Amino acid sequence: MSFFRLLSRNRLALAGLIVMAVVVLLALITPLLPLADPDVTNTANRFLKPFSDTAPLGTDHLGRDLLSRLMWGTRLSLAVGFTAAVVAATIGATIGVIAGFYGGRTDNLIMRGVDMLMAFPYILLALAIVAALGPGLMNALIAVAAVNIPFFARNIRGVTVGIAHKEFVDAARLSGMTNARIIVTEVVPNVIPVIVIAMSTTVGWMILETAGLSFLGLGSQPPQADLGSMLGEARSALITNPHTSVVPGAMILIIVMAINLLGDGVRDALDPRLKSGALSRPMPTTMVDRKDPVPAADATALLQLCGLQTQFHVKTRIYKAVGGVDLSVRPGECLGLIGESGSGKSVTALSIMGLVASPPGVITGGAVYYKGDDLIGAPYEVLRGLRGHRVAYIFQDPLTTLHPLYSVGDQLIEAIRAHHPVSVAEARAKALDLLKSVRIPNAESRLSNYPHEMSGGMRQRVGIAMSLANDPEVIIADEPTTALDVTVQAQILSLLDDLRRERGLAILFITHDFGVVAQLCDRVAVMYAGRIVEEGDTEAILHAPRHPYTKRLMACVPELGQGRRTLAAIPGLPPVVDRLPDGCAFADRCHKATDACRHGTIELTEESGRKIRCIAPEPLPEHEAAS
């Protein structure tokens, strides 16, 4: 969303922006206005009250027109405040970027210097600088800028240190860019938002500081007016003629309030984390907004998905990630879910336990039955009781799902104790058993290992052990072997296979690899653009795929020992799920597609145990068709 749209949604910031715009505009056009000369004294007209004929805001102790002095004073104060902010930000940010980027001794040297500046009380330092340079507006500006440099330097250094070690900076180095070029093209664009944010929140402060110095007579010199000196001159008449103080005082209040409100709004609108909504906490369960009646459950299935629809509502766009999926798993059965990356497999898996982040995720239709109870829209407590207990997940990358700062033993113990109120010692014994059951050698000593001390295959075993911690009935494994090499993958698969036979586990196994499906799954469902396009027994589908997509997908798999064969990559890309075409979503990439494929809805039809969503499926091989 554009910066201004975000900003204008914040009422207070918008008010601040409008007030500031008016003030700045007035300050800019002051020389053009028919105002009295601000510096001409007329002692006969001293202390005229506001709303008098010649002076709308009255006059001060020398009979000078207050309106005119206010306008010129505001102009000067704004100019000095903004200039000080820009100077402080430029110098401070430069120092910060250099210190943060080069690090090491440069960093140490620069930052200790900055620390020395910071060690002085703020106002004292400014006073000392002005005292050394002599009073005057220019020197006040220098003093205010100087005392604010450390603030910018520290802030920007912190941000730069984070950026200087990012991969894109390494990539720029590898491409042979000089340091100066990397700073300008890679680092600076990333710190500019931070600089603007820091500036927007300190400009008000700097205007106040300049006014403070002028108030003490160290800034603007008579007869020149700025807001601080006006206040200073009015001090002696504070009781007898309060309007002389109220006029500049009110202006300072208005300006600083407006700038701070605007600054907060700018910060909220510019901070990339706020913009992407990363700081908004997702709800504990996925939002549910079902319009159609819920389909009925099938009694034989342990876990059953009926017409599940999950969408992402991002602004005005609707991404139909899962568009009506039917799946079911019986106890002890392993169902494979296969499809290209982006076909909606993970979203399907996460929807089952209401784990899709909301917002933007919304479940808009269908049901998920676990032992006959619908989990969609179930209260959080019910889902929490099932998550990791009756239905467990194994994710792709155990390095990101395991906590880096706890030993794997502690994490296993935590997983057990989340659902069973057992003692730590008991949980520890169980954790040890779990590690042994997933065939981790030296399980005893491994309990105290941290995730980074283990290999990828070992970590994934821990992930599986954790999913088994509470003897679940269903395991949902989302590409658990994709990050592993083939030998480890084979071990993990045979481990899962054994576990399911020993414990009667139902497994929903998500993968994009037909080899894995062949090894482990009893049945397989093929997913494309959020829909199941073919489902049946693994052997039957591997032997004779009937949906053109399945067939093409299998043709992409290289076979060992089968001699040379051209791999037939599928041309094109899957459709974007916020603009799904009419008819078959695969039509654009299908060599058999006809006009009829591009109209209406193509249903999933069942034929001798096979479900196919295609109006012209591949024919069955002869001997099967005959039987």
Q: Which residues bind Mg ion (CB under 5 A)?
A: 346
- The residue (of 59 and 346) whose beta carbon lies closer to Mg ion is 346
- The residue (of 101 and 395) whose beta carbon lies closer to Mg ion is 395
Q: Which amino acid is at 457?
A: G
> Is 547:613 a contact under the CB 8 Å cutoff?
yes
- The residue (of 55 and 510) whose beta carbon lies closer to ligand ADP is 510
Residue 514 interacts with, from ligand ADP, Mg ion, none (CB under 5-8 Å by kind): none
**Residues near ligand ADP (CB under 6 A), total:** 14
Closest residue by beta carbon to Mg ion:
346
Considering the complex, what minimum distance in angstroms separates the CB of residue 324 from ligand ADP? Answer: 14
Token pair for 167: 């991969």
Considering the complex, what minimum distance in angstroms separates the CB of residue 436 from ligand ADP? Answer: 32
Stretch that binds ligand ADP, among 253-261, 334-342, 379-387, 450-458 (CB under 6 A): 334-342
Token pair for 580: 């799904």
DSSP string, 552-572: HHHHTS--TTS------PPPS
Considering the complex, what minimum distance in angstroms separates the CB of residue 554 from ligand ADP? Answer: 17
Closest by CA to 80, choosing from 213, 178, 189, 195, is 213
- The residue (of 209 and 479) whose beta carbon lies closer to ligand ADP is 479
By rule CB under 6 A, what string of x and - marks binding of each residue 339-378 to ligand ADP? x-xxxxxxx------------x------------------
- The residue (of 397 and 426) whose beta carbon lies closer to ligand ADP is 397
Considering the complex, what minimum distance in angstroms separates the CB of residue 355 from Mg ion? Answer: 13
Compute the CA torsion angle 585, 586, 591, 593 (nearest 10 deg). -30
Considering the complex, what minimum distance in angstroms separates the CB of residue 549 from Mg ion? Answer: 18
Considering the complex, what minimum distance in angstroms separates the CB of residue 541 from ligand ADP? Answer: 18
Give the number of other Cβ atoms within 10 Å of residue 44's Cβ.
7
Closest by CA to 430, choosing from 53, 481, 13, 443, is 443
Backbone angles phi, psi at 508, to 5 degrees: -105, 110
Stretch that binds ligand ADP, among 109-117, 164-172, 253-261, 337-345 (CB under 6 A): 337-345
Residue 360 interacts with, from ligand ADP, Mg ion, none (CB under 5-8 Å by kind): ligand ADP
N residues, the chain: 627
- The residue (of 147 and 525) whose beta carbon lies closer to Mg ion is 525
- Provide the phi-psi class of 576: left if phi over 0, else alpha when psi is between -120 and 50, else beta: beta
- The residue (of 126 and 476) whose beta carbon lies closer to Mg ion is 476
- The residue (of 276 and 601) whose beta carbon lies closer to ligand ADP is 276
Residue 339 interacts with, from ligand ADP, Mg ion, none (CB under 5-8 Å by kind): ligand ADP
- The residue (of 226 and 478) whose beta carbon lies closer to ligand ADP is 478
- The residue (of 84 and 533) whose beta carbon lies closer to Mg ion is 533
- The residue (of 96 and 339) whose beta carbon lies closer to Mg ion is 339
- The residue (of 346 and 489) whose beta carbon lies closer to Mg ion is 346
| Distance, CA of 350 to CA of 356 (rounded, Å) | 5
Kindly state the DSSP code that residue 31 receives in the 8-state scheme: G
CA distances from 506 to 239, 304, 328, 499, 517 (A): 85, 11, 10, 10, 15
| Distance, CA of 99 to CA of 155 (rounded, Å) | 11
Give the number of other Cβ atoms within 10 Å of residue 569's Cβ.
9
Give the number of other Cβ atoms within 10 Å of residue 551's Cβ.
18
Considering the complex, what minimum distance in angstroms separates the CB of residue 195 from Mg ion? Answer: 38
Residue 312 interacts with, from Mg ion, ligand ADP, none (CB under 5-8 Å by kind): ligand ADP
- Is 267 a binder of ligand ADP (CB under 6 A)? no
By rule CB under 6 A, what string of x and - marks binding of each residue 303-322 to ligand ADP? ---------x-x----x-x-
Backbone angles phi, psi at 414, to 5 degrees: -60, -40
Q: Hey, which residues between 570 and 609 contact ligand ADP (CB under 6 A)?
A: 577
Kindly state the DSSP code that residue 154 receives in the 8-state scheme: H
Residue 280 interacts with, from Mg ion, ligand ADP, none (CB under 5-8 Å by kind): none
Considering the complex, what minimum distance in angstroms separates the CB of residue 564 from Mg ion? Answer: 32
Residue 259 interacts with, from ligand ADP, Mg ion, none (CB under 5-8 Å by kind): none
- The residue (of 200 and 511) whose beta carbon lies closer to ligand ADP is 511
Helix (H) or strand (E) holding 537: strand 531-537
Considering the complex, what minimum distance in angstroms separates the CB of residue 101 from Mg ion? Answer: 37
Considering the complex, what minimum distance in angstroms separates the CB of residue 479 from Mg ion? Answer: 6
Token pair for 350: 């996460």
CA distances from 154 to 174, 207, 266, 273, 618 (A): 28, 21, 21, 21, 67
Considering the complex, what minimum distance in angstroms separates the CB of residue 464 from Mg ion? Answer: 18
Residue 314 interacts with, from Mg ion, ligand ADP, none (CB under 5-8 Å by kind): ligand ADP
Place of tokens 């489902």: 535
β-bridge partners, 475: 392, 507
Considering the complex, what minimum distance in angstroms separates the CB of residue 346 from Mg ion? Answer: 3
Residue 347 interacts with, from Mg ion, ligand ADP, none (CB under 5-8 Å by kind): ligand ADP
Residue 344 interacts with, from ligand ADP, Mg ion, none (CB under 5-8 Å by kind): ligand ADP
- The residue (of 63 and 342) whose beta carbon lies closer to ligand ADP is 342
Considering the complex, what minimum distance in angstroms separates the CB of residue 400 from ligand ADP? Answer: 15
Q: Hey, which residues between 505 and 564 contact ligand ADP (CB under 6 A)?
A: none
DSSP string, 278-342: TTSPPPSS-EE---SPPPPP-TT-SEEEEEEEEEEEETTEEEEEEEEEEEEE-TT-EEEEE--TT
Closest by CA to 418, choosing from 462, 368, 472, is 472
Check whether the bond before 359 is cis (ω within 30° of 0): yes
| Distance, CA of 296 to CA of 367 (rounded, Å) | 8
| Distance, CA of 76 to CA of 306 (rounded, Å) | 70
Residue 409 interacts with, from ligand ADP, Mg ion, none (CB under 5-8 Å by kind): none
Pairing of strands 523-528, 605-607: unpaired
Residue 343 interacts with, from ligand ADP, Mg ion, none (CB under 5-8 Å by kind): ligand ADP
Compute the CA torsion angle 80, 83, 84, 89 (nearest 10 deg). 160
Residue 342 interacts with, from ligand ADP, Mg ion, none (CB under 5-8 Å by kind): ligand ADP
Token pair for 528: 């494309």
Residues that bind ligand ADP in the complex, under the rule CB under 6 A:
312, 314, 319, 321, 339, 341-347, 360, 577
